[in-house]
Amino acid sequence: MFRKAVYPNDAGSLLPRSTELVRFFTALNEIKLVGNQISLSGLAREVVASRNADVARGLMDCFPELDLLEACEGRLPVPTGPFPWTDNDSVESILAVCDRELVEHIAAILPELNGENCADGHIIVTAMDRLGFHTDSERQAFLGAHEAYQKARLRCRR
């Protein structure tokens, strides 16, 4: 969502602001896990496993201590498309679960997606509540990470 909205012509590029956004989310997750552990949908997992089984076998040949048996054994034929993500660049289409409300609260605190409103106290408090930052120490750390992100992104041209 972020890359498509903010940098629609820079797919696959490493951009400083994207790096700062990753740092921001890393800082938030060091305070408290935001959302849930990412998990591919069953179909997406099967496609990835099927199309990478040869790579997994090769890695296990070189590094027998790797535990990639699940990726190598009992592969059904490679699923064929079209898939739910065909002609769709939404990450949501490959995830087992996507909490849209959570995504909206995260987007609300990002200046690239919510302009000057991202610094609105009510929006920030609502986002902290919805993202699970409830104690004073969690909120202070959240606000510190948000402020650091704001400052860092201003130093980045793109």
pLDDT, tens digit (0-9, with 9 covering 90-100), for 32-85? 999 888 888 888 888 887 777 788 778 878 887 776 666 566 556 667 888 888
Do 108 and 123 form a contact (C-beta atoms < 8 A)? yes
Question: Quick one: DSSP state of residue 77?
Answer: S
DSSP bridge partners of 145: none
pTM as predicted: 0.68
DSSP bridge partners of 95: 40
pLDDT, tens digit (0-9, with 9 covering 90-100), for 91-121? 888 888 888 889 899 989 988 788 777 778 8
